């Protein structure tokens, strides 16, 4: 839906957006992204963390953005303090969470009929034991349903799953920095019917 892009064959599975520390700004502008540092991760990166918006041959634009904005901040943790560790750990967490197969097991799959958001939330909370943050595109004009867009899992600094709710004295978890067309993802409403499309049309 993002207008002038060449989104070729978008994957029909959940992919990675990023691994974000609560600080949401570039932390070290001098630490530039270098794809050679993650060359042995590239097959997994292309599969699980694809850039479907930029047509450049090496398609590293998305990874560069995530490193500049979030990775250089995350690197204050020893377990994430290099590009190899940051991207490698994000891939590891993605595989550990295994969202694709968990949703399928719960009978939640792309469909032309609508879901109740509470049913999706309950299924995920039941399985993971924590509450993720589910983000949607609001209904378009004249439509009644929101469209599921992103599912965010929250971790402690020890990288254990935790509820995605602000801890006392902490700011709310970072808002999405993903815009689809003119629409921005926002927290899904519990009361609106929810569309989980097989492909973004």
Give the pLDDT confidence of 104-136 residue by residue, as tens digits.
999 999 998 999 999 999 999 999 999 999 999
- Give the pLDDT band of residue 173 (cuts 50, 70, 90): very low
- Given 66, 140, 143, 158, which residue is catalytic? 66
Scored b (16 or more CB within 10 A) or e, 30-62 reads eeebebeebeebeebbeebbbbbeeeeeebbeb
- Give the pLDDT band of residue 32 (cuts 50, 70, 90): very high
**pLDDT value, residue 177:** 52
Helix boundaries (H) for the chain: 42-48, 61-66, 72-74, 83-97, 99-105, 117-128
Place of tokens 């034991």: 129
State yes or no: pLDDT of 168 exceeds 70: no
Q: Which of 76, 97, 118 is the last residue of a domain?
A: 97
* 54 included as an active-site residue: no
* 32 included as an active-site residue: no
Question: By residue range, what is the domain housing residue 152?
Answer: 110-196
State yes or no: pLDDT of 174 exceeds 50: no
Q: Which of 41, 75, 97 is the last residue of a domain?
A: 97
Question: At 172, which CATH number?
Answer: 3.90.730.10
User: CA 112, CA 155: separation in Å to the nearest integer?
Assistant: 33
Looking at every residue in the chain, the average pLDDT score rounds to 87
Q: 56 in a domain, yes or no?
A: yes
**132 and 70 belong to one structural domain:** no
* 66 included as an active-site residue: yes
Q: 201 in a domain, yes or no?
A: no
Q: 179 in a domain, yes or no?
A: yes
**pLDDT value, residue 105:** 95
Q: 103 in a domain, yes or no?
A: no
Report the percentage of the chain scoring pLDDT > 90: 70
**pLDDT value, residue 185:** 87
- Least confident among 42-56, 124-138, 147-161, 162-176: 162-176
3-state secondary structure 96-109: HHCHHHHHHHCCCC
**7 and 86 belong to one structural domain:** yes
Q: Is 27 left (phi over 0), alpha (psi -120 to 50) or beta?
A: alpha
Assigned token pair, 190? 């519990």
State yes or no: pLDDT of 1 exceeds 60: no
Q: Structural domain tally of the chain?
A: 2
**74 and 130 belong to one structural domain:** no
Structural contact between residues 135 and 150, judged by C-beta atoms closer than 8 angstroms: yes
Q: 104 in a domain, yes or no?
A: no
Q: Average pLDDT in the 57-75 region? A: 89
- Given 70, 140, 152, 184, which residue is catalytic? 70
- Give the pLDDT band of residue 57 (cuts 50, 70, 90): low
């Amino acid at each position: 839906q993002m207008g002038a892009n060449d989104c070729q064959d978008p994957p029909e599975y959940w992919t990675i957006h990023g691994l974000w520390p609560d600080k949401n700004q570039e932390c070290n502008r001098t630490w530039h992204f270098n794809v050679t540092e993650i060359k042995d991760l590239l097959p997994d990166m292309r599969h699980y963390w694809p850039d479907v918006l930029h047509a450049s041959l090496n398609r590293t634009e998305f990874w560069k953005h995530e490193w500049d904005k979030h990775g250089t901040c995350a690197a204050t943790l020893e377990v994430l303090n290099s590009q190899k560790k940051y991207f490698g750990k994000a891939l590891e967490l993605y595989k550990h969470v295994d969202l694709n197969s968990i949703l399928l097991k719960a009978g939640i799959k792309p469909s032309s009929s609508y879901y109740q958001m509470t049913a999706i939330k309950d299924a995920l909370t039941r399985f993971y034991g924590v509450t993720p943050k589910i983000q949607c595109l609001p209904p378009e004009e004249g439509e009644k349903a929101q469209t599921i867009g992103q599912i965010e899992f929250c971790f402690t600094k020890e990288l254990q799953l935790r509820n995605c709710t602000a801890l006392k004295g902490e700011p709310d978890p970072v808002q999405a920095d993903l815009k689809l067309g003119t629409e921005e993802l926002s927290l899904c409403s519990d009361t609106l019917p929810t569309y989980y499309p097989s492909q973004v049309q």
